[in-house]
Amino acid sequence: MFTVLDEQKEWPLASAGAVLDHIPIEQSACIHTIQTADGMVVPNAVEDVRFAASPLVTGPAGLRYYAGYPVEAPDGTRIGALCVFGRTPRERADGEADLDVLRELALLAQRELWRWVPQG
């Protein structure tokens, strides 16, 4: 999933398998990702204090695994994240491999964003 965040919501711009049109910022996993420079891996969200009480974990979505890497605007502001998630916990080593791929994809997406020039 590729998301952008504002002060109130996380907006999925591209996703596979997810059907939410937005996520309240207080439930966002990506809000934690954009606070890091190098991304993050959560092998089991039930065991992570940042996520254990989230409705995305306790509710029907059943989030267990999350890995994300931040995407920056040209001025360096982290505006969103590229992430993967699932309903099954994973080993940290698997998450680190996912993070390597997410880093490469996030940097490609970031490069494209930086090249975009609004029509005006």
pLDDT at 19: 64
Percent of the chain with pLDDT strictly greater than 90: 64
| Cα 7 from chain centroid (whole Å) | 16
Give the C-alpha separation, 115 to 64, whole Å.
35
Mean pLDDT, residues 46-53: 94
Evaluate if residue 89 carries a pLDDT over 90.
yes
Q: What is the largest CA-CA distance in the chain?
A: 48
Measured at the CA of 81, the angle between CA 62 and CA 6, to 5 degrees, comes to: 95
pTM exceeds 0.85 for this model: yes
Handedness of CA 47, 51, 54, 55 (dihedral sign): negative
Mean pLDDT, residues 91-100: 92
Handedness of CA 90, 94, 99, 102 (dihedral sign): negative
| Cα 86 from chain centroid (whole Å) | 12
Q: Which of 6-10, 41-45, 106-110 has the highest mean pLDDT?
A: 41-45
pLDDT at 90: 95
